[in-house]
Structure 1
């Protein structure tokens, strides 16, 4: 399958026009690869390490969740990460494409994959946007789990370096309804509350957001940005493989950007 055909297939599923106004979905760098047979390296974040990996495996497309470019750069300079990425993209003939907030909304996107991992039933978006799609997912645990069992499942499935949850939570409390949203989902806490969820799995939550959630009866669970979005990248690889591409793999050089002392 040619890169142009792969992008057409993807955009029929996750239209880049659905992305938020602050976002930058779609082509980040297109150095003239549209008619090449697709050799795709899927990653969460396009970095120099991922670019060097793409060169090593002879990929011609980096398909990333996070955009390389959020705001128009004022300059592109050698020795700076973005400048070096763009230079290598053109000299090595490797395209960089991003699917961000459009990918967040779709079935088998970032939130939907989390709901599947937790085996949630009767799933619906936290914030609907169009015809059953939207941001986040909320659903029921059947059977219900204790909070301790839910946390253990999240730790086992997502393997975050740290798992943070609301203060003074009763670990023996039965949890029957859970909301999930991969990446920075603290802005959706009020929406999660409206779904009657007892627990909300997301990332990048601040100190007082844990307090506010606790005070409103919602158990906030922060598993980290990387751990909550990386599974959807793996799912994307599986979907691409079903298209019988020439070559597609998940990046082994993706980074969490955080380290924790043990």
Structure 2
């Protein structure tokens, strides 16, 4: 499948016209690769580490020509490009010199079936799932659904830890770990702005990321258990789903980036004497 056909297929599913006005989904850099057979590396964020991975694989004979990412490379209007700025300029220089396109699907991918929120709901095995914020029939931001049977807060936190493997899991308020949970909302990435809508959905707990101190406080006051599992842990699974979908199209080559890591580190003090 040629790159142009792959992008046409994707956009028929997650139309870039659905993105928010502040977003920048779609082509970030297109160095003349549309008619090439698609060889794709999928990642959460198009960083220099991912580009270096592409270049390394090309040296091994794997002619990757497309980085397909969730987060845009370019968010704000550019005033200049420099090859030594360590960011967008260098990425652009490498993309053009190696003929590697960079395409991103952000808020349009968040809304669709099998997008970031849907994948989280599926991992947690939620049922009777609906969008938290509908944007069009059957689609929208976040998902809220029910467990098939009651589980405790302790069990729910363990499910999140085991299935998403976040390096740090923050939750509030400090409720009874044996509290029964039946209805949960999820939204991959930064979802704290949806707390009010989640509270109105009847969810007892809300799994998202990038939450601030006062947002935990607000959730407590609304009787909602807010759980922050980190941006990477809540969105990376949807990248793996993209690999599966692209692989079903019989592309020449498609893989998930191995350098698209959660670069943060969390210091833990040993309790051993």
CA deviation after TM superposition for structure 1 residue 14, in Å? 0.0
1:1-262 superposed matches below 5 A: 1-57=1-57, 58-80=63-85, 81-262=87-268
Deviation beyond 4 Å, 4+ runs, structure 1? none
Spell out, residue by residue over 1:3-41, the C-alpha distance to the aligned partner (whole angstroms, 9 max, x if none). Answer: 000000000000001000000000000000000000000
CA deviation after TM superposition for structure 1 residue 255, in Å? 2.8
Q: Distance in 2 between matches of 1:237 and 1:179?
A: 25
- How high is the TM-score relative to the length of structure 1? 0.99
Structure 1 vs Structure 2 CA RMSD? 0.7
Aligned residues of 2:28 and 2:102 also touching (Cα < 8 A): yes
5+ residue gaps, structure 2, are 58-62, 269-273
Aligned residues of 2:26 and 2:105 also touching (Cα < 8 A): yes
CA deviation after TM superposition for structure 1 residue 59, in Å? 0.9
Q: Distance in 1 between matches of 2:245 and 2:149?
A: 29
Q: Distance in 2 between matches of 1:117 and 1:176?
A: 16
CA deviation after TM superposition for structure 1 residue 61, in Å? 0.1
Spell out, residue by residue over 1:116-173, the C-alpha distance to the aligned partner (whole angstroms, 9 max, x if none). Answer: 0000000000000011000000000111210000000000000000000003211100
Aligned residues of 2:173 and 2:226 also touching (Cα < 8 A): no
Aligned pair count reads 262
Q: Distance in 2 between matches of 1:103 and 1:76?
A: 28
Spell out, residue by residue over 1:40-77, the C-alpha distance to the aligned partner (whole angstroms, 9 max, x if none). Answer: 00000000110111122231000000000001111111
SS in 1 for 2:42: strand
SS in 2 for 1:150: helix
CA deviation after TM superposition for structure 1 residue 215, in Å? 1.4
